[in-house]
Structure 1
């Protein structure tokens, strides 16, 4: 149990404060009032546009409508792959042996053969760039033992993210009964995936090769053409089935602001890309962000008498920004920390120990996890004895 908690920073004050802050709420259930009057996403059944750091909704259209996500499903597949990499459960360099089941997948594929071995790095590239169904199932089996077990992890992660209208039946997005999501919840998944900043090293590739120089060399061409034709777009995932029509979850970063645009049910690739491009144009013409904290930035520290390390930094789990309309008068924003004092040792690196809230007018407008920067174990008897004597002699 924590013996003593010193909060070195009781309050984090921002150097720049904001007033007249645009009332864009974190949930799409409280959309920007002008959304209905905007001529955006006219070719799509549903759409949403959010700023990535805050999750603020800049535009939406039928964003809660349940629709088949097609290969945008692979955003969740990639999220679980990135989590496994982050936890050290797999590495990019290790090889995966392709099963008969994975090799038999239809639809978009990188033409894996049963018994073939390919690195996690190349399989991830095959998923992100070419939307490989075979690569997706191979990675699902690698991480969970079977695609069925992996789908259980997908649905578990969906619940963790608070997604109420998303249900997965496979790791690929191939047609299946009750395999659904919404534009709003696809944006939430994309937001979570983009915490792993190196994912765009894969999703931004326009063309590349697998098995380069071999007889079965495969040319990868990104299914997301905006990666090449819209400045700033570096992901994330397209989708198409006869039922879902043309879908796209895109992300772009320009002028220090990253946004996510989702469209579902467009009539053609051209209409899909046009709708997303117009949404991105709107975001960058009207809004800007003010960065407050970077991901992994130290905010304060813990001090425990009974831990092996007495001072461990508490860091942000994500980057933190504020969205505002260009040209606005800005003032009046503050931040607060809430630290959980009921924590038992040992504690692992990355454990959430509190929240950093950005507030305006006494209301919370965004909230980000604060996590431990390194592992903490119980102090040894010798360490405790040394500290006791040190404290006695310092009196």
Structure 2
């Protein structure tokens, strides 16, 4: 997802089944323009490269990794279904920034809203799902912080579900890696985030084009295929 490639924190999650020796910071400098960076072997949690990994920064749309984790866990527990229809609240439709242009009272399925989050980084779609899972976004944010603590995040505090700038909303490269490590255990993340393009409200006058801005996905996209390949590096 393009939304994860933010300037303030550059997070690398390495998904390998083979052993690679840890990289010493003095030997190589990854992501030289990033304020902090981390390279982690996802299956073991081994840190292979780091720079300022415990420094707090605003996580921007990387916040949505925790939201997505809670959405998927709610579905797996049977508390929410992919084909469930959700009525959009005024709060969700009022979100600024990246969005899928939800309208108050609009009905959309959980699956389409999740596509709006994973492909389009939709703040409105994120809040709509957050309200469904948590009852209110405020309670959902409480759930986010509780789950973060369970994962071992010691320098993270969420104030919203989408990542728009807000006072006291912060995380670190290390904590984001812990969240990402848990998130990638869910195959649905790869299924939806590897979609290059799709449409919401396809058969209506409000047809909305979703296109993936992840350069990895775009580089492997073949216009003759209905899907594309997401490489797990």
TM-score by length of structure 1 reads: 0.51
Instruction: Indicate the residue corresponding to 1:80 in structure 2.
Output: 70
Asked whether the 8 Å contact 2:69–2:183 carries over to 1, the reply is yes
Deviation at 1:194, TM superposition (A): 1.0
The CA deviation string for residues 30-56 of structure 1, in whole angstroms up to 9 with x for no partner, is: xx4622320321111111111211111
SS in 2 for 1:64: coil
Q: Of 185, 188, 207, which aligns to 1:195?
A: 185
1:215 positional shift: 0.5
Tell me how far 1:167 sits from its aligned partner.
Answer: 0.4
Distance in 1 between residues matched to 2:192 and 2:175, nearest whole Å: 22
- Note the 1:57-136 alignment, pairs <5 A: 57-136=47-126
Alpha-carbon distance between aligned partners in 1 of 2:90 and 2:75, rounded to the nearest angstrom: 24
Q: Going by fraction, where is helix more abundant, 1 or 2?
A: 2
Q: Are 1:131 and 1:223, in contact at CA under 8 Å, matched by a contact in 2?
A: no
Specify the alignment match of 2:232 in structure 1: 253
Residue in 2 that maps onto 1:153: 143
Q: Which runs of 5+ in 2 are unaligned?
A: 1-17, 222-227
Is the 1:165–1:182 contact (alpha carbons within 8 Å) kept by the matching residues of 2? yes
In structure 2, distance between residues paired with 1:100 and 1:173: 19
- SS, match of residue 24 in structure 2: helix
Structure 1 portions without partners, runs of 5+: 1-17, 25-31, 235-251, 255-395
Q: How does 1:1-395 map to 2 (within 5 A)?
A: 32=22, 34-229=24-219, 234=230, 252-254=231-233
**1:34 counterpart SS class:** coil
Deviations along 1:106-126, one digit per CA (max 9) or x if unpaired, are 000000000001000000000
Higher alpha-carbon Rg: 1
Deviations 1:117-140 (A, max 9, x none): 100000000000000000000001
Tell me, in whole angstroms, the C-alpha distance in 2 between the residues paired with 1:205 and 1:186. Answer: 23
SS at match of 1:136: helix
Q: TM-score, normalised by structure 2?
A: 0.85
Equivalent-residue separation in structure 1 for 2:38 and 2:45 (angstroms): 11
Q: Distance in 2 between matches of 1:233 and 1:154?
A: 30
Which residue is equivalent to 1:340? Answer: none
Aligned twin of 1:365? none
Query: For 1:206 and 1:57, how far apart are their aligned partners in 2?
Result: 30
Residues in 1 aligned to 2:205 and 2:176: alpha-carbon distance in whole angstroms: 38
Structure that is richer in strand per residue: 1
- Once residues 26 and 74 of structure 2 are traced to their aligned partners in structure 1, the CA distance between those partners, rounded to angstroms, is 40
Provide the residue aligned with 2:12 in structure 1: none
